[in-house]
Structure 1
Amino acid sequence: MSSWNFIGIIAWIIVIALLIFVVFNIRNRHLKVLVVEKGKITWTTILTDLLEIIVVILAVSGLLYTSLFTKVDLTNKNEVAVTYKYDPLIVQTTGDGQGYYVKIDKKESNSSTDVYQYWLNNSTYTVSSQNATVSDATLPFTVSGLHLDWPMKKIKKLDAKYQNAYVITVQAKYKNNFMNGLGLKANRYAMEYRVLRVPARSFINVEK
């Protein structure tokens, strides 16, 4: 774990300590008014209680939002470091001798998600369409829903080198800085996505 994440741990310790302090402070003030001073709870006491509770709620909400509910901005170079890896696909053949690079297994898929199978260095890999897409080299290179600065010069060179048959693995990792540490995300992976580049749709085997 990155040492930057201790910022978030310390922040949570402070918030928990604040919560405990507020609970005991409210209890002690109420007991003082009712038991020691033999008085009644006034609006001033109630407003003080509400102010302390609001401060705790805001502190907890802020940390929860920073830790769990913020969406990663893949174009923000101050927040994440994005790396690209390229591996050539290994051709497979069907029973009738048709070559393919990617198999879509409809038995494992559902109405909204496909399951892609591909081969690298004689090893089989399986990935969901939620974390991957198939890119037909006969069409312009696009990846919908993923805003990244794609290295198009590199991709064009690899299209020629690997004959449009390779996989691009994109990884985004949170950088070591104060905000990522506060959210307990420093040096952790934010996202991994794969683009399965094939020469044409005919190199995809759909198995039903």
Structure 2
Amino acid sequence: MSAWNFIGILAWLIVLAWLIFTILNTRKRHLKMIIKDHKKFTWRNLCLDIVEVVVFLAMAIFMVQTTFLRVPNLKDSSQVKLSYQYKPLVLKTDGAQGYYVEVQNGNGKKPVQYFTYWVEGARYEVNSNHARVATGGDPLAVNGAGLPWPKKVIKQVSRDMPAFVAQLSGTYRPTFINGLGMHVGNSAEDYYLISVPSEIFVNNKDKDQEQ
């Protein structure tokens, strides 16, 4: 684990320490109010209770958002390092039909598609949350093309390879905000752009028909 991520660990320890302090300090003040001052309520104690709880909630919400809910900005090169790989696809056959990618449709209200493709010596399966299939024309004219793909390189690859898979990999850089979220060195995104010459090279079948 990167040393930068200890920033986030320290921040969470501070949140925990503040929670413990709030519990103990609230108990101490309220016992003093009852035993020493012979009162059950004071506005001062109420205000201190509210301030301590609000501070804890603010810190906890901020750390939850930073650690678990922060969406990486892949176009911000100061926060995310991008790398790209391009591999030609291997043509598979099913009887007389040849195809480069197999699409399996899942079930449910928002079904996820599963894409299976082959490269030299390997078979991969990715889903539509992290991949798209482009059939002919401009490979970037599909959903997911809004990602920071190197357009000139993609166009050159599409001229050199009739069918290919382009992989975009993003890794969190060593920065304070990434360390605070304990993300440094971790994957920010893996996205696959699968490009084939036309729809006839796509084999469609339902997920429940898979072997």
How does the TM-score come out when normalised to structure 1?
0.91
Given the alignment of the two structures, is residue 166 of structure 1 paired with residue 164 of structure 2, yes or no? yes
Distance 1:146 1:50 in 2: 48
Q: Deviations over 1:135-157 (max 9, x none)?
A: 12324622325532221211122
> For structure 1, which runs of at least 5 residues remain unmatched after alignment?
none
Match of 2:127 in 1: 128
Q: Within 5 Å, give how 1:52-131 maps onto structure 2.
A: 52-96=52-96, 98-106=97-105, 109-110=106-107, 112-131=111-130
Runs of 4+ in structure 1 deviating by more than 4 angstroms, as ranges, are none
Q: Which segment is superposed worse, 134-143 or 77-86?
A: 134-143
- Helix, strand or coil for the counterpart of 2:191? strand
- Partner amino acid for 2:141? T
Check conservation: 1:90, 1:122, Cα contact below 8 A.
Answer: no
Identity %: 36
Match of 1:7 in 2: 7
Q: Deviations over 1:19-49 (max 9, x none)?
A: 1011111111111111123234211111111
Does the C-alpha gap of structure 1 residues 133 and 145 become closer, same or farther in structure 2, counting only changes over 3 Å?
closer
Match of 2:189 in 1: 191
Check conservation: 2:102, 2:202, Cα contact below 8 A.
Answer: yes
Distance 2:71 2:191 in 1: 16
Check conservation: 1:169, 1:195, Cα contact below 8 A.
Answer: yes
Q: CA deviation at 1:63?
A: 0.6
Q: CA deviation at 1:66?
A: 0.8
Match of 1:148 in 2: 147
Distance 1:186 1:139 in 2: 34
Does the C-alpha gap of structure 1 residues 94 and 47 become closer, same or farther in structure 2, counting only changes over 3 Å?
same
Does the C-alpha gap of structure 1 residues 69 and 146 become closer, same or farther in structure 2, counting only changes over 3 Å?
farther
Given the alignment of the two structures, is residue 46 of structure 1 paired with residue 43 of structure 2, yes or no? no
- Helix, strand or coil for the counterpart of 2:11? helix
Does the C-alpha gap of structure 1 residues 80 and 143 become closer, same or farther in structure 2, counting only changes over 3 Å?
farther
Distance 1:197 1:43 in 2: 67
Match of 1:24 in 2: 24
- Partner amino acid for 2:46? I
Check conservation: 2:149, 2:168, Cα contact below 8 A.
Answer: no
Distance 2:15 2:120 in 1: 50
> For structure 2, which runs of at least 5 residues remain unmatched after alignment?
207-211
Distance 2:126 2:192 in 1: 8
Q: CA deviation at 1:2?
A: 1.1
